[in-house]
Structure 1
Amino acid sequence: MSDLLRAGARVVASKCRQWHGKAGAARFVHSSRSVVVLAVLAAASVSAGCVIPPDLSVEKNDAAVNAAPVILDVRDEAGNPFERPGPRDVTVGQGRLVLTISDPDLLDTLYVRYFLDYGLPAPTPARIECEAAPGATPTLQRQITCSLVGVCTTPAVGPDHVFEIEVFDRPPVVDDPTRLFRALDPPGLSSAWWWQVTCVEAVR
């Protein structure tokens, strides 16, 4: 009897190895067919006394994803949407914007930069710099209020300016010639919104 059991165990082990191999190959076939194949293999494996372990590679990869922060909403201080792409008026020496930003990396400090006419014709430093720390209880979304004072100046009064807000998940590198004032060391990520704006003087 013991010889029969040992022989049976060898057969089951052999079939388990075959079924595991087939299960790995089945992941590459058409999705509808793979469901059927994997279901059949799983049933056969259970009946033979072996279990195919779940493939956790996707879950592990998802957990390790480094995602870019994303701007969800921008509003003026009165709560009105700062709609894109404009044109929008920006008053010299006035105003604030309230940004809603999403970042799945909850412990990141986010760095917000305002640019005006960047690369037109040359890269220029950020006009405004703000930061949004994760806080005591980090959340997926956070709000930050940044001043508009300094975006438009009297010499810039007039139409057809390009205003950009870029949010970074680490401090940007200001002296990298590949993207002055906006470069990031790996694995840093960023995203940006832009508007066409007209710089106007305050009404007196």
Structure 2
Amino acid sequence: MIATHPAHLLLIALLSGALPAMADDLSHGKALFSACSSCHGEQAQGSPALAAPVLAGQQQSYLIRQLGNFKSGLRGSNPGDSAGAQMQAMAATLSDEQAIADLSAYLASLPPPASKPSLSGNAALGSRLYQAKCGACHGGQAEGNLAMHSPRLRQQFDSYLLLQVNHFKQGIRGSAPGDRYGKQMKMMAATVNDQELLDVLAHISNLPQP
């Protein structure tokens, strides 16, 4: 029997993908987030004035996908998306997939802040519209759905959600080739008019906030 050198075993493992993935490093993610806090807040609570969304408590997989989309240019390249262009520049500073995973894991670990409605809408009508059009993907309580790759909407600024849905409607977001999930949202955004959208957002803003 021929003995195998440990270095050869390591090479075989690398080539076969048999080595376990690196664990997410929350402390590294926190350090990386320091470059983001001027817009997104010290606790990732976001800023309506800067159109910077709440990131605390968002699903890690969704954050990884969006940061990857900004880094690759899949999101933020439309001339009408000035905030997206800023995010492209920030995402470019993340050195590799592990850095994105660490940052996303840190943000997902933070408790989402309480939110207050800033827009006027009929929450009762919005509840029916939400369940009919949004709930199957985003969850009955807007908590997000990992299986459907749909983000958490609860405790997000209604003004930010309004902006993003309008960006989908206008083709500013969700029109890039290869943006599979963006295209799905672009189609769904077209199914509500302006007042219906305000009603849906009123419903989301009035959901219980654990």
TM-score range, shorter chain: under 0.3
TM-score by length of 1: 0.24
Higher share of residues assigned helix: 2
Higher share of residues assigned strand: 1
